[in-house]
A and B are shown apart, each in its own frame.
Chain A
């Protein structure tokens, strides 16, 4: 039977930006709803896990609000011009109202029946309009009844707030504050003087309204908070000023009773102002990164902050840190690229400033965050602080090399750190710190990957803009403890060109270092220059050796979209390709919006996809799969063994998949549905869990789910368990064999493939032969447990016979004795 040829689809697998809109707590404060890219995500406050992902919008979700009249329903607005009403407990879209123009913010109020307020663009400016939501039947409805409330408002959802039961609406833009009273139909305008002070300008940045009194709080770009009162009169208004922030106030929120005011900003400190006075304030410092949004739960027990690095922090009412929900942390600039940790198979990239995050692709969770810089990070705009720029793992993940640098006008501060994986603590431990390993920035670094050899062969190579590459080796210390540390062994250069990239061949015998337009190949034992390759137009941007059958090829990518492949045996240029000449403007990556996949020995790409997604692709990496996926078509054979992940500008992680959307989503959603329908008595909880597990196991066999390795053994074990008891040998004999069968066999672990990750430019070089080898290897792996089981059953039968014979003998002797 021939499977239908499925086209490759781009699938989002995590890390989309969470700060499209303020998060919303459900009425009982058990769930947190959050706009995340095109989706609305629901998190459990107690367990921090993602319970549901509601998709349906075709563009970014810009606002979410609970339905004021039914707190089990949720309104969401999106840039695609539609408002959706969801039943978030079941994850079902109830209604879709199409407005037409882009919606930039959404506000729903209890006092306005069946209408919501949205911000829509009008020529250059934006206006706040109320939308009448028709009560007609049907799912897809048109909502064309728009009435303008305010003209010339700011696009940001933080710049409009509704006060006291919806009596008035306050909007800020630049230095103006507008207050519109619905009953009186009166519009009051106030403005602060636009004088630029030393610390910045005093433009408005956000606004919040007191829930019970006539009071408006506004945040300003210079860090001040102004509290406006008496604003129903045009002239006799008053305002008082609170000042603590030294940078822009990013968001403000009043507590439910209005007794205190919360403010946050770039400093990543949540400030609690009591009684609106300047002297009574509390702080919750060091929240990790700039606070983008603050939202309060309706019962006032919790509040949550959304941070610029896509993290959600849940905070108790007494200003105690409670929980943190974090997926793929967004860092301002992913300088490290996407690296795969060979040990955990986690994606490794820049996390919090100065940290390295290990992100698990399967569970969309951060495994852990390794503090590399180990210095207090000062949250202040415009401050130049040390950050991580390069990361490299040794083949087994035993050593980790990191480079951190601080941009400085005169001389950059550089540090190369080498970390050793400590088995006891299960984390990396700092082994060696090298100050100023190069005179200038380090451009690339790689370990010599040799699994089979012991530590002595471990070599680290760094290339720098100071025109040299350096070879670092481990040396044993002379002190009594006999520790190891790293020191420089060799410094090489070529015609005083900047060294840009380095790469070891698969067997570790050759080192290729690119110097601007030239690639040099060095012997890794004697450090002799073996040969040079040159490719005239453009500098070399990346180089990579082929693997396995293609190990004789060296591939280089250059500036102007050229890809060269040199044969190392004949020292000749084999392939020269011009790739995507139409897109020379993208400097960061050659590919821009398209992905090309090549075999190194064939000049034609085996896969091309253009316009994968809206944003520009920044980085990409191949991640080895735990199990080979069944790929229907011949065309996508390269995807069988490893998965291609790429990161876009907005820090969304995408992958290519052959499965359809339903297939991918079913396992998770089904599981959730069961969980949701759980009764809450502990007894039924226990029972239900048990049942669910059973049902899942049954389903699991028929479906393509990434199965646990242990589960593969289960049918045989089941078979063993289902054999009638009287046929089986004694329990004491069976027990050890049975327990052995439950253990994961050792061979599997050792045979696991090393991460064959490559960077964006070189990923085209992923070779087919690699795939083929891996496939065969995996097949072997697959058969091994089966064989093992066969053996076991075979053994069993033999032992059975023996046992029987013994019994017979015993019987006979017993009889003969008589």
Chain B
């Protein structure tokens, strides 16, 4: 004997973004903190040592922010004009920054005045950085040169003038203290070895290079310029590994996450895209209010800081891990009483009496079970179900329609209830998953309540709204059909014609048919 089968509510898979491990990971940030800077933020750099302060270069100042502070804990403002590319040294003690007038300044984090000043660039020095031996600094400037400086002596070691346009980005190798790369607006990325007089390798990016990045292993090089992000294999002599075109405006900044498994790119199109470094597919993307100039990720991915063209600094902190212990502690006593005796294993001589498990039915199921159609419909028109799970409401309507009792369930309602029903129908009838059944419902309601039209202003208004909603949907569908027709004509021009071949076969088969028929 069968038991009552509860109503099956059809679930529709959500279209669009699929939930992956990545989306879960990258969504785990709190709502961003916005900090207003004086000008466009051209560089953000995290201190490599705890407490992971970060230096933000904007306009003529360098602000140092603490982990959670919204006010700068330190400011370097000894610049006459714009400062560029404030970068920490590996030990987090020194900070170097270029400037518009071409001088490069080295600061001690504890002091205020610069320790050293390196003059040599005739134009703005947009990129500076430490080599990994900590005692040398590389820089690139708008005078097309890339220089190497010695910190102890404060002098220039070597100057390479190989680029033919502004040098705007650079990066030092972490594994070799003599190697650094610079990217320039002449569309090339050059790899320099401090031990040689000229560049070791030149990579043709194809667009003005805005940002370069070396993988921690030093084997892979990432360059961004134009709409492209390109990954090159340095060890194979600069072979292109993959070219990514996921932004629709210039990519301005690149960044690796702490594990090196994900590559982030920020662009003027207001998006930050996150790629997997194994498949080079976009696994997630962030959307920001304005064009992005700079981007940095703190160690352990605790914080994402993004700098924009309008001077806004956007800081996102990771949500703390949810503590599951607390919730468990709370539930423990009741759980223990629940399972009391559950684990008892019956002995051989014990006589077991099995108690049937009582199934809990939803309210509408109970009513449907006892064939109370009208009440079942009322139950699913309650606000929580109607608003948050409209599929349940529609499923009950469909079940009633299957049973042939929908009409009687809809009939005999007062003004308030009709208003409720019509609001629901007018709002949901355009959703494709509900349309078939709600059209029937709308039909029935108009059928049943036709005689009372004109008696209540509220109901009349709802009818008009329904009409409007359906009219709009029809227009929309017509437009879509037009587009489809256009696309069909476009596709039709691509397909080959094979009809002639088919025709031939058919006639052949026919002739044979007649022959055999005669034989029979």
The yes or no verdict on A and B being binding partners is yes
Chain A residues lying within 8 Å of B457, measured Cβ to Cβ, are none
Contact A571-B509, Cβ < 8 Å, known A435-B10, A478-B20: yes
Q: Do residues B2 and A286 form an inter-chain contact, with CB atoms below 8 A?
A: yes
Query: Whole-angstrom distance from the CB of B505 to the nearest CB of chain A?
Result: 5
Structural contact, A573 and B512, CB atoms closer than 8 A:
yes
The CA-CA distance from A313 to B2 in the complex, in Å, is 12
Q: Which chain B positions have C-beta within 8 A of A577?
A: 520
Known: A376-B368, A529-B498, A577-B520. A572 touches B4 (CB 8 A): no
- Nearest B-chain residue to A603, judged by Cβ: B520
Interface magnitude class on chain B? 20 to 34
Q: Which A residues are in CB contact (< 8 Å) with B512?
A: 572-573
B21 within 8 A of A: yes
* B513 / chain A contacts, CB cutoff of 8 Å: 534-536, 564, 573, 576
Q: B278 at interface (Cβ–Cβ under 8 A)?
A: no
Q: Would you call A478 and B18 a contact (CB within 8 A)?
A: yes
| Cβ of B517 under 8 Å from chain A | yes
Q: Is the CB of B509 within 8 A of A566?
A: yes
**B residues 488-520 with Cβ under 8 Å of A?**
498, 502, 505-506, 508-510, 512-513, 516-517, 520
Task: List, in ascending order, chain B residues with CB within 8 A of A386's CB.
Answer: 402
B338 within 8 A of A: no
Question: A479-B18, A532-B502 in contact; A576/B517 too (CB < 8 A)?
Answer: yes
Answer whether residue B1 sits at the interface, using C-beta atoms and an 8 A cutoff. Answer: yes
- How many whole Å from B25's CB to the nearest CB in chain A? 12
Kindly identify, within residues 85 to 137 of chain B, every residue whose CB is under 8 Å from any CB belonging to chain A.
none
Interface residue? B259 (CB, 8 A): no
Q: Which residues of B contact A376 (CB under 8 A)?
A: 4-5, 7, 368-369
Q: Are B509 and A406 in contact (CB under 8 A)?
A: no
A287 interfacial by beta-carbon distance below 8 Å: yes
| Known contacts A374-B8, A532-B509, A572-B508, A288 near B1 by CB under 8 Å | yes
B397 to chain A, nearest CB (A): 14
Contacts of A536 in B (CB 8 A): 510, 513
Is residue A480 within 8 Å, beta carbon to beta carbon, of the partner chain? yes
CB neighbours (8 Å) of A529 from chain B are 498, 502
A575 touches which of B399, B402, B510, B516 (Cβ 8 Å): B516
Contacts of B506 in A (CB 8 A): 518, 532-534
CB of B2 within 8 A of CB of A375, answer: no
Q: B20 near A480 (CB under 8 angstroms)?
A: yes
Interchain CB contact (< 8 A) of A573 among B18, B369, B402, B516: B516
**Chain A CB within 8 A of B153 CB:** no
Q: Which of A454-508 contact B (CB under 8 A)?
A: 478-480
Residues of B within 8 A of A719 (CB): none
CB–CB B20/A383 < 8 A: no
B509 lies within 8 A of A533 (CB): yes
Check if B402 sits within 8 Å of A385, measured CB to CB: yes
* In the complex, B403 has a CB within 8 A of chain A: yes
A411 at the interface (CB under 8 A from B): yes
Q: How far is the CB of A361 from chain B (nearest CB, A)?
A: 25
Q: Which residue of A has the minimal Cβ distance to B505?
A: A531
A524 to B214, CA, bound (A): 48
Can you list, as one digit per residue, whether each of B47-75 has a CB less than 8 Å from chain A (1) or not (0)? 00000000000000000000000000000
Q: Which of B4, B510, B516 contacts A286 (CB 8 A)?
A: B4
Residue of chain A at shortest CB distance from B21: A480
Q: Is the interface of B mostly helix, strand, loop or mixed?
A: helix
Cα A766 to Cα B402 with chains together (Å): 42
**Which of A374, A406, A518, A576 gathers the greatest number of chain B CB atoms within 10 Å?**
A576
Residues of B within 8 A of A575 (CB): 516
Q: Is the CB of B509 within 8 A of A383?
A: no
B13 → chain A, closest Cβ, in Å?
Answer: 9
- In the complex, how many angstroms separate the beta carbon of A526 from the nearest chain B beta carbon? 12
Tell me how far the C-beta of B424 lies from the nearest C-beta in chain A, rounded to whole angstroms: 21
- Which B-chain residue is minimally distant from A284 (CB atoms)? B1
For residue A421, CB closer than 8 A to chain B, the reply is no
Tell which of B5, B402, B502 touches A374, judged by Cβ atoms closer than 8 Å: B5
B8 A286 Cβ-Cβ under 8 A: no
Interface status of A181 (Cβ within 8 A of chain B): no
| A577-600 Cβ-contact flags toward B at 8 Å (1 or 0) | 110000000000000000000000
Residues in A with CB closer than 8 Å to B8 are 374-375
Bound: A288/B3 CA distance, A: 10
A384 neighbours in B (Cβ, 8 Å): 402
The 0/1 profile, CB within 8 Å of A marked 1, for residues 397-419 of chain B is: 00100111000000000000000
Map CB proximity to A onto B1-37 as digits: 1 under 8 Å, 0 otherwise. Answer: 1111101101000000011110000000000000000
* Contact (A571, B505) CB under 8 Å given A478-B20, A529-B498, A576-B517: yes
Min distance, Cβ B202 to any Cβ of chain A, angstroms:
40
Q: Is A321 an interface residue (CB 8 A)?
A: yes
Q: Which of A371, A532, A576 contacts B516 (CB 8 A)?
A: A576
A534 and B509 form a contact (CB under 8 A)? yes
A529 to B503, CA, bound (A): 12
- In the assembled complex, the Cα of A284 lies from the Cα of B1 at a distance in Å of 9
Q: Is B219 an interface residue (CB 8 A)?
A: no
A518-550 near B? 1/0 per residue, CB < 8 Å: 100000000001011111100000000000000
Shortest beta-carbon distance from B22 to chain A in Å? 11
Given contacts A435-B10, A480-B21, A573-B509, A286 and B403 within 8 Å (CB-CB) = no
State A536–B510 Cα separation when bound (angstroms). Answer: 8
A381 to B10, CA, bound (A): 27
Indicate whether B436 reaches chain A with its CB closer than 8 angstroms: yes
| Chain B, residue nearest A567 (CB) | B512
Nearest CB on B from A267, distance (A): 10
Question: Which residues on the A side are within 8 Å of B520 (C-beta)?
Answer: 576-578, 603
A566 to B7 Cα, complex, angstroms:
50
- A284 to B394 Cα, complex, angstroms: 31
Of all chain A residues, the one with the shortest Cβ separation from B503 is A532
Contacts of B509 in A (CB 8 A): 532-534, 566, 571-573
Would you give the shortest CB distance from A372 to chain B, in whole angstroms? 12
State the 7 A-B residue pairs at the shortest beta-carbon distance, nearest first. Answer: A572-B512, A321-B1, A573-B513, A531-B505, A573-B512, A376-B5, A286-B2
26 CB contacts below 8 A, A to B, read: A284-B1, A286-B1, A286-B2, A286-B3, A324-B1, A375-B5, A375-B7, A375-B399, A383-B403, A410-B440, A478-B18, A478-B20, A479-B19, A529-B502, A532-B509, A533-B506, A534-B509, A534-B510, A534-B513, A535-B513, A564-B513, A571-B509, A572-B508, A572-B512, A576-B516, A577-B520
Report which B residues bind A (CB closer than 8 A): 1-5, 7-8, 10, 18-21, 368-369, 399, 402-404, 436, 440, 498, 502, 505-506, 508-510, 512-513, 516-517, 520
- Sample of 20 further A-B pairs with CB below 8 A, known A536-B510, A577-B520: A288-B1, A288-B2, A371-B5, A376-B369, A380-B403, A380-B404, A383-B403, A385-B402, A479-B18, A479-B19, A479-B20, A480-B20, A529-B498, A532-B505, A534-B506, A535-B513, A566-B509, A571-B505, A571-B509, A573-B516
Q: Report A's interface with B, CB cutoff 8 A.
A: 284, 286-288, 313, 321, 324, 371, 374-376, 378, 380, 383-386, 406, 410-411, 435, 478-480, 518, 529, 531-536, 564, 566, 571-578, 603
